[in-house]
């Protein structure tokens, strides 16, 4: 390949190299409708509120995942079970990656909300 062609290929590839990370999604004031753990400690969490933006790896807009085999995942899962059992709304910030399952965004942050009268 000649030098001008190589430079052209490099210039065409530049946008891909400079692209930012996948976009994390946020869900606010949602209800947990289902929690589905598997035998490996990975958990899928279903919400009643779809999100509009999500990373490219995430196929479904009402699910997130968490790794309950880690201390952080256990804490988040405990909060999610509390929200499900108490019918409390949650705020979830996605982690921008699909670590536990290749088609479900991993949870980066969970916050429970107080019920409003």
pLDDT digits (tens, 9 = 90+) for 61-108: 999 999 999 999 999 999 999 999 999 999 999 999 999 999 999 999
- Give the C-alpha distances (Å, rounded to integers) separating 24 from 30, 56, 102, 108: 17, 10, 15, 9
Domains of the chain, first to last: 21-112 (2.40.50.110)
pLDDT tens profile 4-60: 554 544 444 444 443 444 567 899 999 999 999 999 999 999 999 998 788 999 999
User: Between the CA of residue 116 and those of 41, 55, 84, 89, what are the distances in Å?
Assistant: 33, 31, 16, 10
pLDDT reported for residue 10: 45
Q: What is the pTM of this model?
A: 0.77
Residue 21 carries which DSSP code? P
Element (H, E) at 91: strand 89-94
The partner residues of 94 in beta bridges, in order of sequence, read: 107
In the chain, DSSP finds a helix count (H) and a strand count (E) of: 2, 5
3-state secondary structure of 38: coil
């Amino acid at each position: 390949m000649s030098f001008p062609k190589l430079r052209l290929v490099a210039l065409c590839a530049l946008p891909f190299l400079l692209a930012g990370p996948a976009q994390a999604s946020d869900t606010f004031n949602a209800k947990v409708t289902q929690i589905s753990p598997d035998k490996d400690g990975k958990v899928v969490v279903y919400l009643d509120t779809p999100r509009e933006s999500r990373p490219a790896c995430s196929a479904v807009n009402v699910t997130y995942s968490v790794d309950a085999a880690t201390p952080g995942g256990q804490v988040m899962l405990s909060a999610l079970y509390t929200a499900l059992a108490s019918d409390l709304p949650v705020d979830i910030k996605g982690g921008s990656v699909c670590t536990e399952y290749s088609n479900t965004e991993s949870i980066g942050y969970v916050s429970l909300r107080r019920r409003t009268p």
